[in-house]
Amino acid sequence: LFPEGTLRLLDPAAASARLGEVTDRAGLDQPGALSLDPRRVLQAWCRAPSAARIQSLEPTDGGWRLSGPSEPQIFRTVILATGADLRHLWPAAPILPVRGQVSWVAAPDPETPRAAGWGGYLAPMAGGFLFGATFRRGEVSTDLTDEDHQANLDSLAKARPALAASLAGAALGGRARVRATTRDHLPLAGAVPEAPGLFVLGGLGSRGLTWAPLLGEHVAARATGGPSPLPGDLAALVDPARRSAA
């Protein structure tokens, strides 16, 4: 899958040098990998979106009636991309919520650790670094909890014990949100079953930033009748009508 040189096997000594503290485990290095600032990526993707909270969606002659803060409007084609709130507008959406919390801490620039993943992950960000994230199936609260901060510290301690110990008592920031997952862990991208003109891009789980650009093109192609970048067998895997999703 990967071109020569994009993945390198590191023995424990090399992995220790790469991590910044001693580990007795081997690792994989991706020299060209980047960590993203999601806010800046979203600003580049969605330059000036026009946003309004949609309260209801009803089939009507000639399309779908969307009711929001202003006059209802009718559209022939609608694409649902409302994350963990998908069921609000599509009650049968086969979405399973999984709460996740990341933790972050301020750090002076030279001390910002390099990105690493081990099941948990650690990523540099402006003015500090973040680490996480928790997975709590069926939970939908978005409050920050000390319990989840502790779970993230416990995970960090598996790969970076000295760094985790140095954070004892530190003031942690964080953010909690709800991931939208499906039973077969694959996204929902394409036509909503038995709802002509209604499409969905959702169920992106923990991989929205990775999957959304390609799947967005796929859903746009389905909605406009254009050619999709996805081959037929892959399109079938993410088809919202597949039985394994629910």
Ligand X SMILES: Cc1cc2nc3c(=O)[nH]c(=O)nc-3n(C[C@H](O)[C@H](O)[C@H](O)COP(=O)(O)OP(=O)(O)OC[C@H]3O[C@@H](n4cnc5c(N)ncnc54)[C@H](O)[C@@H]3O)c2cc1C
Shortest distance, position 162 Cβ to ligand X, whole Å: 24
Label residue 138 exposed, middle or buried (CB < 10 Å: 0-12, 13-18, 19+).
exposed
187 vs 172: CA distance, rounded Å: 32
83 binds ligand X (CB under 6 A): yes
Considering only residues 19, 54, 163, 245, which one is a binding residue for ligand X as defined by CB under 6 A?
Answer: 54
Length of the chain: 246
190 binds ligand X (CB under 6 A): no
**Among candidates 45, 17, 12, 27, which has minimal Cα distance to 201?**
45
Considering only residues 25, 40, 137, 207, which one is a binding residue for ligand X as defined by CB under 6 A?
Answer: 207
155 binds ligand X (CB under 6 A): no
Using omega within 30 degrees of 0 as the cis cutoff, is the peptide bond preceding 81 cis? no
Label residue 106 exposed, middle or buried (CB < 10 Å: 0-12, 13-18, 19+).
middle
202 binds ligand X (CB under 6 A): yes
* Cβ distance to ligand X smaller for residue 36 or 241: 36
DSSP state of 140: -
* Cβ distance to ligand X smaller for residue 167 or 200: 200
* Cβ distance to ligand X smaller for residue 17 or 77: 77
> By CB under 6 A, which span of 11-19, 76-84, 223-231, 236-244 interacts with ligand X?
76-84
218 half-sphere exposure, CB direction, 13 A CA radius = 25
Considering only residues 19, 95, 116, 133, which one is a binding residue for ligand X as defined by CB under 6 A?
Answer: 133
**Among candidates 87, 41, 49, which has minimal Cα distance to 180?**
87
204 binds ligand X (CB under 6 A): yes
Shortest distance, position 95 Cβ to ligand X, whole Å: 10
* Cβ distance to ligand X smaller for residue 123 or 230: 123
Quickly tell me which residue has 């909605």 as its tokens.
Answer: 223
Binding-site size for ligand X (CB under 6 A) equals: 24
Q: What does the binding site for ligand X look like in residue numbers (CB under 6 A)? A: 53-54, 81-85, 88-89, 100-102, 132-133, 177, 179, 202, 204-210
